[in-house]
Structure 1
Amino acid sequence: MKLTEIQSCYIGPEISPEQFIPEHFFLFLIKGKINSYDGHRNYTMKPGDFCIVRKNRLARYNKEKDNDEFKKIVIIFDEVFLRSFFKKYQVSMETFLPKGAFIIPKKNELITHFINSLQPYYTESGAINEVFSELKREELLLILLQIKPSLSGLFFDFGIPGKIDLEEFMLQNYKFNVSTERFAYLTGRSLSAFKRDFKQIFNDTPGHWLVKKRLEEARFLLEKKHQRPNDIYLDLGFEDLSHFSFAFKKQFGNAPRDLVK
């Protein structure tokens, strides 16, 4: 079944585009391309692909336009909505095992039908009419639970992250540019407990260790993989190229560009 000519839309409460994902959301790509990374794997989405992005995870993505166009459908499953849905439909809980930030169910025509069904509800401003947006969120969630019942164990687990192996987590996620408070939360610790445990494991402060670890990775990519500074600094958690270059030269005595052959 082909997609009709539909616009981008965003249903649900606005969430920050930072690398920490505070709420579950459904993403369907209409036009363009998305490359994403969650610390475990790299993912590529093309038109017609869809996924669920999991809350309380770290992830980042970049988008590529097609003929100067990029279109997607984003539907937020925030906790308030999910609690209401859980109570209304008396959902039975199942175990959900995958750990990554991106959950990719098998393709199903029900999803395509759903995406096409949004077209009549667009307003002149390009948004979905608020009168119907909540109903469409419920419809989509019912479809997803029918396609993959174990998603109930993902969507309706309202607990906070439990205490996990800090060393393993940091070695896997040091490239993400989020605050120490976020790292503490995601490892199931208070900020003070996180700093104490971090010191015991790495014999360093989180801030100093993160910069050092990112710079060591940068040096490897420049020297061994022959990558360019402007292609790696964002992926290593630096906000801008000048900050990256300054920190690199301070650490190693050479500017990043000096290592590029």
Structure 2
Amino acid sequence: MEHTSKYITPDIKLSSYEDKLFKSDVIFDHHMLIWFISGETKIIQAEESHHFKTGDIFLIPRNQPATVINFPKDGLPHKTVVMLLSAKTLRNFYADIDITTSITPIPKIRSFNSHPLLESCLTSLIPYFEMQELPENIAALKIKEAISILRAIDPEIDSVLGNFEEPGKVDLTSFMEKNYMFNMTMEKFGYLTGRSITTFKRDFKKSYNTTPQKWLTQRRLELAHYMISEHHKKPTEIIFEVGFENLSHFSFIFKKQFGYAPTELLEDSLKRI
């Protein structure tokens, strides 16, 4: 995979993927403002999916599991400007601002299409990536400008950017049923459910009477079986979305679980159409 990144500061980068596809399961520790220069991205979350393309601008909230699949498009690389809105930066910004909106419990990806104010702000960063050095205060001003624009065009954005609470303890089974398809460490599952890793494993055992890894594999295989059988999806189309990384490994454990290969299931499902 040919991936390059140019940084103005650790919080602002120009990211480029040259290969056919790049996939990752991520949970961002900070909010990410992204502007698409070229390429295409599919972002899959627990309750919704998004497609973004050239010109789109969107905000990915922190602490929300997602599968991100990046594609080049029309012979051009997958290229984006990424601005990290860190907790430190936002705390400083909001230090003297009274937030009157209610806090959003589960913030979702916010799309701004190609809003001219945001596009102008992010486009102005491009020349800086070719400079050897950029005064840090200039980069900080550009981030402050972006936050100010977001507040001007989205009246609900304060409920997301101004929320500095860490994940609290949530219902374990409800969370797992919504997020089992994301490849996260047990520590991250614990953090997002408001538990230490020890408490997470103990509570999981009480709820499911098995280990998290065994349960996750089982649920992902069941989802894959459903998508192939009922929606006639090819294994190559769904392995990333159901939480697997490797097609041969997926095919092996699928056949071990069900007694037939995923390709055989697909052939059978197509006959029923």
TM-score (norm 2): 0.82
Question: Quick one: distance in 1 between partners of 2:259 and 2:194?
Answer: 38
Question: Which residue does the alignment assign to 1:129?
Answer: 134
Which whole-Å deviations, capped at 9, do the CAs of 1:71-121 have from their partners, x for residues lacking one? 21110011222223233xx12223243724412247643212212332443
Q: Which runs of 5+ in 2 are unaligned?
A: 14-23, 268-273
Runs of 4+ in 1 over 6 A off after TM superposition: none
Give 1:82's match in structure 2, choosing from 90, 98, 104: 90
Distance 1:100-1:246 versus aligned 2 partners, 3 A rule: farther
Question: Which residue does the alignment assign to 2:37?
Answer: 30
Instruction: Tell me how far 1:38 sits from its aligned partner.
Output: 1.2
Give 2:10's match in structure 1, choosing from 5, 8, 13: 13
Question: Which residue does the alignment assign to 2:178?
Answer: 172
Which whole-Å deviations, capped at 9, do the CAs of 1:101-142 have from their partners, x for residues lacking one? 4122476432122123324434257xx835422221111111
SS in 2 for 1:150: coil
| More displaced 10-residue stretch of structure 1: 246-255 or 48-57 | 246-255
Give 2:68's match in structure 1, choosing from 53, 61, 66: 61
- Which protein is richer in strand relative to its size? 2
SS in 1 for 2:157: helix
Structure 1 vs Structure 2: percent identity of aligned residues? 35
Question: Quick one: distance in 2 between partners of 1:11 and 1:96?
Answer: 32
Letter aligned with residue 75 of structure 1 = M
Instruction: Tell me how far 1:238 sits from its aligned partner.
Output: 1.2
Number of paired residues? Answer: 249
Query: RMSD in angstroms over aligned alpha carbons?
Result: 2.4
TM-score (norm 1): 0.85
Distance 1:12-1:189 versus aligned 2 partners, 3 A rule: farther
SS in 2 for 1:84: helix
Mapping for residues 1-261 of structure 1, pairs under 5 Å: 13=10, 18-69=25-76, 70-87=78-95, 90-93=96-99, 94-97=101-104, 99-105=106-112, 108-124=115-131, 129=134, 131=136, 132-261=138-267
